[in-house]
């Protein structure tokens, strides 16, 4: 069970990073500061699974 939620979290994190990379490559006005701010928002919106290891 824990392994499955860990894998789900990792894949979700990879999708967020991929989205930020694609956004950075396609937008003309994208700056590194704007990309970091967008990434922070995406990470804050990422659901966090409960973990016994914390």
Length of the chain measured in residues:
54
Does residue 13 or residue 1 have the better pLDDT? 13
- Quote the tokens at residue 38: 């967008």
The 10s digit of each residue's pLDDT in 14-51 is 888 888 788 778 877 778 888 788 888 888 887 765 55
CB half-sphere exposure, 39, CA atoms < 13 A: 18
- Separation between Cα atoms, residue 4 and residue 48, nearest integer Å: 13
Provide the whole-model pTM: 0.51
Cβ–Cβ < 8 Å for 42, 16? yes
């Amino acid at each position: 069970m824990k392994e499955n939620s860990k894998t789900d979290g990792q894949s979700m994190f990879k999708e967020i990073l991929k989205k930020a990379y694609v956004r950075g490559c396609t937008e003309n006005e994208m700056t590194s500061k704007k990309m970091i701010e967008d990434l922070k928002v995406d990470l804050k919106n990422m659901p966090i699974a409960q973990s016994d290891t914390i």
